[in-house]
Structure 1
Amino acid sequence: MPRPLTDIAGIGPATAEGFARAGIPDAETLIEIGADAAYSAWLVAGNPPHFIGYYALVMALQGRPWNDCRGAEKDALRIRFDAIKAAARAPAAGSAGQDKGRLRLEAALDEIGVGLRR
């Protein structure tokens, strides 16, 4: 049986609800797709962008407290966050609905160099 998103330390009910709206229903799915793809889906679903929320997610998936992110690591995550956010806002030509969201997600992942897992 899949574990609830709130089983991941640092993910509360409101964040879990946002991920559910983004099509990420459980902890296993979130762990499998990773922080960048999950946050891209979060944005495409219409949830608001927030840098602290993004890096807190990265830290949570590493089993670290959110405030453990500092210095160069935080700077690098800011670059990734900005790329994900920009890609989620970019219009996808010739697509609609879910296809549009998927194209945005793939563009964001390609831009930050992680690519879509298949």
Structure 2
Amino acid sequence: MPTPVSSIPNLGPATEAAFAKAGVHSAEDLRAMGPDEGYRRLLASGVAPHFIGYYVLVMGLQGRPWNDCQGEEKAALRRRFDALKAEMKGKGRSELEAALDMLGVVERRR
């Protein structure tokens, strides 16, 4: 039986729901793909990029507290985040598509 995404430290029900919308339904799947691919999938599903969300994910997958990231490690994660954000720019849903999807007006991408 799959383990919920919210079983990963630092990740709660809202993050689990966002990953479900992005097609990631278990902690095992998220661990196997790693933080960068997991975050790519969130961005592609229409989640707005946010550095804290990214590094919380990285720390959680390492089994570390969300606020354990400091100094050069945090700066390196910021560079990875910025590269992911640039790579995915224009590849996710538009704000209008996300709003219409939320209202049930357009079909969800699978």
TM range (shorter): 0.7 to 0.9
Q: CA deviation at 1:40?
A: 0.7
**What is the distance in 2 between the residues matched to 1:90 and 1:7?**
31
Structure 1 gaps, min length 5: 92-118
Equivalence for 2:49? 49
Render the CA deviation track for 1:4-36: whole Å, top value 9, x for unaligned: 111111110001111111111110000000000
Q: Does residue 1:83 correspond to 2:83, yes or no?
A: yes
Render the CA deviation track for 1:38-65: whole Å, top value 9, x for unaligned: 0011001101111001001000000000
**What is the distance in 2 between the residues matched to 1:90 and 1:82?**
14
**What is the distance in 2 between the residues matched to 1:11 and 1:33?**
16
Structure 2 gaps, min length 5: 92-110
Count of residues in correspondence between the two structures = 91
Question: What is the TM-score of this pair, normalised by structure 2?
Answer: 0.80
Q: CA deviation at 1:90?
A: 4.5
Helix, strand or coil at the partner of 1:10 = coil
**What is the distance in 1 between the residues matched to 2:78 and 2:9?**
22
2:62 alignment partner AA: Q
Listed as ranges, the matches of 1:15-54 within 5 Å are: 15-54=15-54
**What is the distance in 2 between the residues matched to 1:76 and 1:35?**
14
Aligned Cα root-mean-square deviation (Å): 0.9
**What is the distance in 2 between the residues matched to 1:70 and 1:41?**
25
Runs ≥4 residues deviating over 3 A? none
